[in-house]
A = this chain, B = another copy of it.
Amino acid sequence: VKGLLLDLDGTLYVDDAPLPGAVHTVRMLVEQDVPCRYLTNTTRISRRELALRLQRIGFPISAEQIFTAPRAAAAWLAAEGIRQVALHLPAATREDFVEVVATTGTPEAIVVGDLGEEWSYSRMNAAFRQLMEGARLVALQKNRFWKTAEGLALDAGPFVAALEYATGREAVVVGKPSREFFRLAAASMGLGPEHLTVIGDDVETDVGGAQAAGMRGVLVRTGKYRPDVLAGSGVRPDGVVDTLAEAVALALEP
């Protein structure tokens, strides 16, 4: 059995518009019962909401098939036997944790994501004190910034870096491109990394991350793909193709 891990934004769609042939390709994967996970680092939306959004634009993808950084964090916490957790996450993402963790007692771990405007000094200080009392630091991702209509905006990374500096300890980063993320996604499918191919438009995060985790990585020339970024990266994809359909064919060929 071969399985696929597919990146979402830039690989299946751009700005809520499906890429040419992408909906057809995903429908075919469903018909042929190919084990699939859909990957994203987003920390601002729950899996349920994301699945609804994907279905609305034509993709037959269920919440259970979506593997996000919050889901990776929940899997990591379960594997570590950690139940008491403090969530420094937007409300939409907290939803992905409520079934697996308790947030009432002294936290054994804190989970940090992109809180945006919800970051304040007292919020940062609360997280810092929890860490100083022994909680582990789990970061959904460590991205530096993203682009908004109003200009650049700080992502979760700088706040994670602040907490690392304050405590002198390193965060466990569970989002892409961490090896942990791909390992946990594979575990959720019950398949070993040698049977899996990651398909994405980011040569470092998708393809480099996949290969570091022992999977194959195929790059599609859509979304954020840039030939100079590929040339300048140290990553050598297992394939570079124009469309999702070609990537899937390459990944599934015998």
Interface residues of A (CB under 8 A from B): 115-122, 124-125, 128-129, 132, 144-145, 151-154, 157-159, 161-168
Contacts and interface: CB of A to CB of B under 8 A. Distances in A.
A158 B166 contact: yes
Nearest to A143: B166
B119 A124 contact: yes
Given A128-B145, A161-B161, A121 B154 contact: yes
Contact of A158 (B115, B124, B152, B153): B124
Contacts of A116: 121
A122 B122 CA distance: 14
Contact of A159 (B144, B162, B167, B168): B162
A158 B163 contact: yes
Given A132-B152, A158-B166, A119 B121 contact: yes
Nearest to A167: B144
A120 B117 CA distance: 8
Most B Cβ at <10 Å: residue of A124, A125, A168? A125
11 contacts: A117-B122, A119-B120, A125-B154, A128-B158, A144-B165, A144-B167, A145-B166, A159-B162, A161-B164, A161-B165, A162-B162
